[in-house]
A and B are shown apart, each in its own frame.
Chain A
Amino acid sequence: MSNIMRESHIMKIHYLTALVAVGFVIIHIIVRVTQGFANSLEFESVIANYESIPYAIVLEAMLILISVHGFNGLRIILLELKQGSAYENAVTYGCLIAMIALIAYGSRTIIMASMGMVEA
């Protein structure tokens, strides 16, 4: 990544995604607790959550922010263990691909559930 973006910029993104994600996670937990933990996990309740567009946006934002933060964190840990041009590129692009795959998979769930494309 360092040949695409400066490490100082990546760290700013790392911190910013963490702070914003904490805010969204607090909203996510408040929604679960205020509905009653067990009740909020009922199938109909979860579907209703996804069908609410503002909440679906919160979920999508959380998915992107936590994926970026998490996989960049993994990249940092792996780069602390070993260095070298080939290794660093493999770690960076591997984490980037895994991050995109996870965001795509999670977005599929959010989009399909919010559009009611759920098996009866």
Chain B
Amino acid sequence: MEKDRKEGIKGMANPGRYGIERVAYWLMRITGLGLLFYFIGHIYETSNLLDGKAAWNSMLELTQTTEGHIFLTLVIGMCVFHTGNGIRLMIGQAGFGLGKPSRADYPYTPSSLNMKNKLCIYVSIGLAALAMMYGLGVMYDV
């Protein structure tokens, strides 16, 4: 704990510490920002429609490459993880799945950081991986 304080915000932010919950915390923020930037880009991309067929097709060519497909696959993964983990957080904030309140005894294990929540995080990551594979299949017409 003392080491944490000395490390400051770096200690708090370290995704390798505090288990999968801290990884989920970071993934939630990274995927959220990634999706926001994608959304802004998507709005700009679709506005090319107004400039006619040639402009639309030239913009579309950018996404019809291997790099474009990899980028869209990442977007699918980010979207599914953000949705799955977001639903977990909403359920948690509503007070469900947090465990029963109990006296704080050593080793002070918080009841909210339980297997149900951990499982939901792993399921969100698994669903994101499955959706990415499905997305790749659709884009490559497999």
Contacts and interface: CB of A to CB of B under 8 A. Distances in A.
A118 B83 contact: no
Contacts of A119: 50-52, 55
Interface stretch (B15-23, B40-48, B99-107, B114-122): B40-48
Contacts of B36: 70-71, 73-74
Interface in A19-55: 19, 22, 25, 33, 37-38, 41, 43, 46-47, 50
Interface size class of A (residues with CB under 8 A): 20 to 34
Main secondary structure of the interface of A (DSSP, over half): helix
Contacts of A105: 43-44, 47
A109 B139 contact: no
A1 interface: no
Given A37-B139, A118-B50, 15 more contacts: A18-B83, A18-B90, A19-B90, A43-B56, A43-B57, A70-B35, A74-B33, A77-B29, A77-B33, A102-B40, A105-B44, A105-B47, A118-B49, A118-B52, A119-B51
30 contacts: A15-B90, A18-B83, A18-B86, A22-B83, A33-B138, A37-B138, A37-B141, A38-B141, A41-B60, A43-B49, A43-B57, A46-B56, A67-B39, A70-B35, A70-B36, A74-B32, A74-B33, A74-B36, A77-B32, A102-B40, A106-B43, A106-B46, A106-B47, A109-B43, A109-B46, A113-B49, A113-B50, A117-B50, A118-B52, A119-B55
The 10 closest A-B pairs by CB, nearest first: A119-B52, A70-B36, A43-B53, A109-B47, A106-B43, A73-B32, A43-B56, A37-B138, A15-B90, A112-B50
Interface of B: 29, 32-33, 35-36, 39-40, 43-44, 46-47, 49-53, 55-57, 60, 79, 83, 86, 90, 93, 138-139, 141
